[in-house]
């Protein structure tokens, strides 16, 4: 099960579940989290379901490659961290 | 008498209360978060709205049914899926900011960057893009003014006909709908764009009205603080004429229209265009009481040296009585006047940069 962890900065605004999901891609992992808290979607993704410009996702310590399709593959034991990028501060 | 007002700032929303002759901060909400616009309770609803523009996590809309004591997050206007290919005008279909809000006839309106107008018929529970305006062919020639993308900063609903509204766009001129947003006509004829090549300066579709304000009692009268001048319409935006009698400068962002007297309006002048500071470091409010034929430069109580405050387009407001005014600056100064701008007193000196203020 891949694990997805959201920055605690988001807790000011909405619930941020830590999710273990059988997700094969970054988007599938995000969708598993959004299923638990639908409001979280708008904080992480924009109108076009792209990763927000000032949000960054790390997969096993590596920044994700694609911010539009979000199709970076996950391993069964991958750990995804969704963070706020310092660029937006 | 309106004894309450709201101040949207870079670091939160502040409620002001008038007690006697003075105003004071009574409550804060969203401390630390950028609030780009607010809408006080109106149109028969008790709901107060605050639009946030979170740096990392996008635009959010909150509503309060108890005057700011508690808030709930509401739906936010969302652009529909962007068609394949290059978007019109190079503008992505992504919400950047809620820049204006209005309510009338049971409909809530939100003007946004990058240029979309949204409507809600359920108090902010859901939103629909007004596609009839978004799909105007002329949108391809709109461009950003102050931001990288175009934006709707003014929504002037007709006070007697709630299905008639005018929107002001930087930079896309002014547009009027008389059927609740089903169809639109460009209504910026007579405006002049000094920042365009001469053969395009009269094009109504690329004008940069910084703010448009309507006289409530005489709704055919509209005032416009434009990027390169002041314009006024007396025929409900069918035509605009330039007013050139303002002293020192006719540049600025804000305009407040007297609610009952169509001859009176207030402006917050600044040096054009690149510097955007008060003329000679001295802050003034320009007032006309004769339809723009002449202006008074009102300065009593405002700093007259070493002042570099700029008043944003939503930073000057007049109350229903036509003599109570508030003015807030990017430097976080807030002033009040109880005598139609003749004199001012400082309400606060250390607020965050002020984006918008409104009575109600």
Q: Taking the mean position of all CA atoms in its chain, how far away is CA B189?
A: 20
Q: Is A49 exposed, middle or buried (0-12, 13-18, 19+ CB in 10 A)?
A: middle
pLDDT score, position B273: 72
pLDDT score, position B35: 98
Average pLDDT by stretches of 10, chain B with 360 residues:
95 96 96 97 91 96 96 98 95 98 96 98 97 97 94 98 98 98 98 96 97 98 97 98 93 96 96 85 97 98 96 98 98 98 97 98
Beta bridge partners of B64: B48
Chain B contacts in chain A segment 35-74 (CB below 8 A): 39, 42-44, 46-48, 50, 52, 54-55
pLDDT score, position B272: 81
Q: Cβ separation of B95 and A47 shorter than 8 Å?
A: yes
Q: Cβ separation of A54 and B55 shorter than 8 Å?
A: yes
pLDDT score, position A55: 96
Q: Over the stretch A56-71, which tens digit does the pLDDT of each residue have?
A: 999 999 999 999 999 9
Q: Which residue has the tokens 């700093």?
A: B303
Contact residues on chain B for A88, CB-CB shorter than 8 A: 55-56
Structure tokens at B130: 């007004």
Distance from CA of A84 to the nearest CA of B (A): 6
Name the strand (E) or helix (H) holding B67. none
Structure tokens at A66: 């694609």
Name the strand (E) or helix (H) holding B13. strand B12-19
pLDDT score, position A88: 53
Q: Which residue has the tokens 């978007």?
A: B87
Rounded CA-CA distance B318/B326 in Å is: 7
Name the strand (E) or helix (H) holding B132. helix B131-134
Distance from CA of A63 to the nearest CA of B (A): 17
DSSP 3-state percent helix, strand, coil across chain A (nearest 5): 25, 30, 45
Q: Give yes or no for B93 touching A (CB within 8 A).
A: yes
Query: Regarding beta strands B325-328 and B334-337, do their DSSP bridges make them parallel or antiparallel, or are they unpaired?
Result: antiparallel
Q: Are B62 and B137 in contact (CB under 8 A)?
A: no
Q: Cβ separation of A88 and B56 shorter than 8 Å?
A: yes
Predicted-complex ipTM score = 0.93
Q: Over the stretch A7-39, which tens digit does the pLDDT of each residue have?
A: 999 999 999 999 999 999 999 999 999 999 999
């Amino acid at each position: 099960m891949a694990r997805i962890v959201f920055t605690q900065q988001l807790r000011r605004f909405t619930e941020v579940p830590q999710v273990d999901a059988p997700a094969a891609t970054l988007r599938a992992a995000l969708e598993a989290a959004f299923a638990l808290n639908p409001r979280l979607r708008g904080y992480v993704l924009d109108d076009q379901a792209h990763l927000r410009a000032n949000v960054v996702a790390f997969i096993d310590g590596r920044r994700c490659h694609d911010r539009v399709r979000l199709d970076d593959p996950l391993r069964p034991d991958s750990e995804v961290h969704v963070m706020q990028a310092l660029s937006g501060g | 008498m309106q004894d309450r007002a709201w101040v949207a700032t870079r670091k939160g929303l502040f409620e002001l209360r008038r007690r006697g002759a003075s105003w004071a901060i009574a409550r804060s909400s969203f401390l630390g978060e950028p609030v780009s616009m607010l809408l006080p309770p109106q149109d028969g609803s008790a709901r107060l709205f605050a639009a946030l523009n979170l740096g990392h996590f996008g635009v959010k809309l909150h509503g309060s049914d108890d005057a700011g004591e508690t808030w709930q997050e509401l739906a936010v206007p969302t652009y529909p899926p962007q068609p394949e290919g290059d978007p019109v005008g190079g503008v992505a279909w992504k919400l950047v900011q809620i820049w204006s809000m209005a309510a009338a006839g049971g409909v809530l309106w939100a003007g946004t960057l990058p240029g979309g107008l949204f409507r809600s018929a359920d108090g902010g529970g859901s939103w629909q893009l007004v596609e009839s305006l978004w799909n105007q062919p002329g949108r391809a020639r709109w461009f950003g003014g102050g931001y990288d993308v175009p934006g709707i900063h003014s929504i002037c609903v007709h006070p007697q006909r709630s299905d008639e509204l005018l929107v002001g766009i930087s930079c896309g001129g002014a547009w009027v709908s008389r059927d609740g947003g089903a169809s639109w006509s460009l209504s910026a004829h007579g405006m002049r764009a000094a920042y365009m090549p001469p053969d395009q300066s009269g094009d109504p579709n690329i004008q940069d009205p910084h703010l448009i304000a309507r006289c409530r009692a005489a709704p055919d009268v509209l005032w416009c603080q434009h990027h390169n001048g002041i314009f006024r319409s007396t025929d409900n935006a069918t035509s605009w004429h330039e007013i050139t009698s303002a002293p020192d400068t006719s540049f600025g962002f804000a305009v407040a229209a007297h609610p009952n007297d169509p001859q009176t309006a207030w402006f917050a002048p600044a040096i054009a265009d690149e510097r955007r500071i008060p003329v000679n470091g001295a802050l003034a409010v320009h007032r006309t009481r004769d339809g723009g034929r002449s202006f008074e430069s009102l300065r009593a109580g405002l700093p007259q040296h070493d002042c570099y405050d700029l008043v944003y387009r939503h930073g000057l407001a007049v109350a229903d009585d036509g003599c109570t005014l508030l003015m807030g600056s990017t430097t976080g100064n807030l002033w009040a006047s109880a005598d139609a701008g003749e004199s001012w007193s400082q309400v606060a000196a250390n607020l965050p940069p002020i984006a918008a203020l409104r009575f109600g």
